[in-house]
Amino acid sequence: MRDLEIAKQALKEKNLTLAIAKDGKIIFQSNLRGVIGIFKAIDELGGKLESSAVADKIVGKAAALLFAYLHVAAVFASVLSVKGKDTLEKNGIKYEFEFLVPKILNRTGRDMCPFEKFSLDLENPEEAYFKLKGFAEKLLKEN
């Protein structure tokens, strides 16, 4: 899985939050926090992300559902939640991780990440994409 190694290397060497590789080169990179970088990749590249390899600092269920929506081939996560892992497995996405955690926490560390919490009852990747996008837009307007 050469693309996954390329994405992992970019994530670590460039101190990114998200790196996506396909056909031996980086096609998207970001330092945006949370799932916002994934939405930006979708907006910019759409279907070109299919069969790509993703390296992401933090992957919870919401991110995993978005990767399933995109039909990515493989995911590396520095931190992966149990629900994220289950979602990747359920959707046939190969994955690697450094740390497996029970849940992704919010930025204060006192509660579950709002996207992880919002995605708990979501299973269908396409439905999840539209619901998560709406939720992200709502949160951005509030902040």
Residue 132 to residue 29: CA distance in whole angstroms: 21
- Who contacts 74 (Cβ-Cβ below 8 Å, separation ≥6)? 1, 3, 4, 53, 54, 93, 94, 95, 96
Q: Return the CA Rg of the chain.
A: 14
pLDDT per residue as tens, the chain (143 positions): 699 999 999 999 999 999 999 999 999 999 998 899 999 999 999 999 999 999 999 999 999 999 999 999 999 999 999 999 999 999 999 999 999 999 999 888 899 999 999 999 999 999 999 999 999 999 888 86
Instruction: Output the pLDDT for position 107.
Output: 87
SS3 of 105, please? strand
pLDDT one-digit tens code per residue, 78-97: 999 999 999 999 999 999 99
Instruction: Output the pLDDT for position 34.
Output: 85
Instruction: Output the pLDDT for position 139.
Output: 85
Instruction: Output the pLDDT for position 143.
Output: 67
- What does residue 32 show for φ and ψ, rounded to 5 degrees? -70, 145
Residue 66 to residue 106: CA distance in whole angstroms: 19
CATH number where 129 lies = 3.40.140.30
Instruction: Output the pLDDT for position 1.
Output: 64
Residue 90 to residue 107: CA distance in whole angstroms: 28
Give the range of the structural domain holding residue 39, as residue numbers without chain letter: 2-142
Instruction: Output the pLDDT for position 142.
Output: 81
Domains: count for the chain: 1
What one-character-per-residue DSSP string does 13-82 give?
HTT-SEEEEETTEEEEEE---TTHHHHHHHHHHGGGGTT-EEEEEEE-HHHHHHHHHHT-SEEEEEEEEH
